[in-house]
Amino acid sequence: IQTDIPPLKDTVPFTLGAAVERAQTLGEHARLLTRHYGSITTGNSLKWDATEPREGEFTFTEADHLVGYATEHGLKVRGHTLAWHSQTPDWVFKDGDRDLSASAADKALLLRRLEDHVRTLVTRYRGKIDSWDVVNEVVDENRPDGMRRSPWFLITGHDFIRTAFRAARAADPGATLVLNDYNTEFPRKRKAVYDLVKKLRAEGVPVDAVGHQLHVNIEQPPAAEIEKTIETFARLGVRQQVTELDVSVYPDFVSSYDTVPAEVLLRQGYRYKEIFDVFRRQAAGLSSVTLWGLADDDTWLSSFPITRLNPPLPFDDELQAKPAYWGIADPA
């Protein structure tokens, strides 16, 4: 790795993090991680399918490794995620072969499973995980009530959110509890997430922070909309984190390059700069910014939404700094 360039974390007035798996804690990747970042998010290792594949059978090998590595190297940890509609095993929503319904008994069963899961994970890492993405992607702005029709919502209504946050607070009163979602920089989604957070907090549900995933591309959404989102939630008095930033080199869901033109990588660098200009201006409302990956050799965008070359991060496949790195590091 290059040692003649400034550590990225020293160039920003908030905690800078990266989502990682075990591979990013080994060899040169580990050197890049500890040099440039102050925090990690567990990419997949704490999701339900990874931690409780069968009821009551917990596996923590990967998560223990990541949290142990972080503790050893002075990195903060974001836990991701306690309740989500995706990467959740089928058994969670079933009683034997039968799908759970919205009956009182089924609802109680599901909430008990959720409470057990949350208590087990959050207690295990009490004092070691600084922030938890307690619920992930629960909002659907196209529904009149603003809620995604996940099994969680269909079976329990809003109660799974209340249960998850309360169980997390009870298990580790010191952890920052986050409601995490994507597209919060688009006006309708922003409003739906805002209304939900406001309602929950008015009820006393311990939602400490809003997580903005911020999976953006080189063109959209406009930086001014990102700024408006941070300003809007700051007025609500809720803390904020950027949790999953990356910048796709494609403005749409279909195009693909065989090699990404240098000119596009340069544009990506300027895009990072305009986004980090916003973060620096809004730093009072923003406690951390996390990139969804360490370097371009391992990014979910190479397979989502289609398989294609898509280098969205500040370091390339060889772990070398790209224009995107300088877009972050060099605010001048």
Site residue total, ligand XIL (CB under 6 A)? 6
Q: Rounded to whole angstroms, how far apart are CA atoms 212 and 245?
A: 8
What percentage of the chain's residues is helix, strand, coil (to nearest 5)? 40, 20, 40
Respond yes or no on whether the N-terminal peptide bond of residue 53 is cis (omega within 30° of 0). Answer: no
288 binds ligand XIL (CB under 6 A): no
43 binds ligand XIL (CB under 6 A): yes
312 binds ligand XIL (CB under 6 A): no
326 binds ligand XIL (CB under 6 A): no
| Nearest partner of 205 among 193, 196, 213, judged by Cα | 196
Provide, rounded to whole angstroms, the least separation between the CB of residue 101 and ligand XIL: 27
Q: Rounded to whole angstroms, how far apart are CA atoms 106 and 250?
A: 44
15 vs 81 by CB, closer to ligand XIL? 81
Provide, rounded to whole angstroms, the least separation between the CB of residue 44 and ligand XIL: 5
Q: What is the 3-state secondary structure (H, E, C) of 149-205?
A: CCHHHHHHCCHHHHHHHHHHHHHCCCCEEEEEECCCCCHHHHHHHHHHHHHHHHCCC
Burial class (CB within 10 angstroms; exposed 0-12, middle 13-18, buried 19+) of 26: exposed
300 binds ligand XIL (CB under 6 A): yes
The residue from 21, 115, 137, 227 that is catalytic is 137
Beta carbons of 218 and 264 less than 8 angstroms apart: yes
- 137 carries an active-site annotation: yes
- The residues with which 72 forms a beta bridge, in sequence order, are none
34 vs 88 by CB, closer to ligand XIL? 88
- 219 carries an active-site annotation: no
**From 11, 44, 120, 287, residue interacting with ligand XIL (rule: CB under 6 A):** 44
Tell me the CB-side half-sphere exposure of residue 299, using CA atoms within 13 A.
30
43 vs 323 by CB, closer to ligand XIL? 43
Provide, rounded to whole angstroms, the least separation between the CB of residue 155 and ligand XIL: 21
**From 15, 25, 88, 136, residue interacting with ligand XIL (rule: CB under 6 A):** 136
- The residues with which 98 forms a beta bridge, in sequence order, are 95
**From 130, 244, 246, 296, residue interacting with ligand XIL (rule: CB under 6 A):** 244
111 vs 291 by CB, closer to ligand XIL? 291
Binding site for ligand XIL (CB under 6 A): 43-44, 136, 213, 244, 300
Enumerate the active-site residues: 137, 244
